[in-house]
C-alpha cells in the first residue's frame, strides 16, 4: 500500500514507516508484535520494520513488559481474574515472559480471592449473603471474568 508508493531510497521508506508506527501508537498501548503486524500489513519491508522497532524501543514507545503490566493492572482493577487477564494479554501478542511478569503480583490466591469477592459484592450491590438462586448465576459471572473454580467456590461459600 503506502510503502509501494515510496519512490525514494531506504531512508525515505524508513521515515515513512516510522511515521506510520508513531501514528499507530498514538491510539493506545501496543505490543511489539502488534506494531510489527501493523507495518507488515502496510507492506513495509522486513528490514525496515526491524529498524523501526529498534527506534521505537529506544525511544520507549513500545515495551512489552510495561504494556503487559499496565493492561494487567487495569483489568485487575476492573475485577477480572488471572485466567481472563492472561488471555487478554496473549491476544495482544505480548511476549510470554512479559505476561508472566505482569501476572506475578496478581496471581496470589489472596489477591485473586479479594478481586472475586469485590466482583461478587458489586454484583449483589451488598456484602450480605447471596440468595440461593443467585449463587449459580454469580458463579457463572465470576467464571466469565476469569476466576478459577476454587476461587469461585470460596467466594460463593463466603456469601451464602
> How does DSSP assign 61-104, residue by residue?
S--HHHHHHHHHHHHHHTT--HHHHHHHHHHTT--HHHHHHHHG
Same domain, 53 and 11: yes
> In percent, how much of the chain has pLDDT > 90?
60
- pLDDT, tens digit, for every residue of 22-39? 999 998 889 999 999 999
Lowest mean pLDDT among 23-32, 104-113, 118-127, 130-139: 118-127
What is the CB-side half-sphere exposure of residue 79 using CA atoms within 13 A? 13
139: cell is 458463579
Total tally of structural domains belonging to the chain: 3
For the chain, the average pLDDT equals: 86
Question: What's the CA angle centered on 68, arms 41 and 18, to 5 degrees?
Answer: 35
Same domain, 88 and 117: no
Query: 7 vs 141, which has greater pLDDT?
Result: 141
Same domain, 51 and 40: yes
What DSSP state is assigned to residue 130?
A: P
Query: 84 vs 155, which has greater pLDDT?
Result: 84
Q: Which domain holds residue 23?
A: 2-58
Q: Is the pTM of this model over 0.85?
A: no
Amino acid at each position: 500500500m503506502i510503502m509501494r508508493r515510496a519512490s525514494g531510497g531506504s531512508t525515505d521508506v524508513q521515515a515513512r514507516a516510522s511515521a506510520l508506527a508513531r501514528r499507530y501508537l498514538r491510539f493506545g498501548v501496543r505490543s511489539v508484535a502488534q506494531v510489527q503486524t501493523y507495518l507488515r500489513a502496510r507492506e513495509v519491508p522486513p528490514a525496515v520494520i526491524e529498524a523501526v522497532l529498534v527506534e521505537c524501543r529506544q525511544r520507549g514507545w513500545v515495551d512489552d513488559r510495561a504494556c503487559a503490566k499496565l493492561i494487567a493492572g487495569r483489568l485487575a482493577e476492573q475485577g477480572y481474574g488471572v485466567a481472563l487477564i492472561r488471555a487478554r494479554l496473549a491476544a495482544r501478542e505480548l511476549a510470554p515472559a512479559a505476561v508472566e511478569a505482569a501476572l506475578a503480583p496478581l496471581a496470589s490466591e489472596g489477591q485473586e480471592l479479594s478481586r472475586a469477592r469485590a466482583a461478587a459484592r458489586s454484583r449483589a450491590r451488598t456484602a450480605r449473603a447471596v440468595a440461593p438462586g443467585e449463587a449459580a448465576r454469580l458463579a457463572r459471572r465470576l467464571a466469565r471474568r476469569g476466576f478459577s473454580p476454587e476461587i469461585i467456590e470460596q467466594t460463593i461459600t463466603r456469601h451464602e
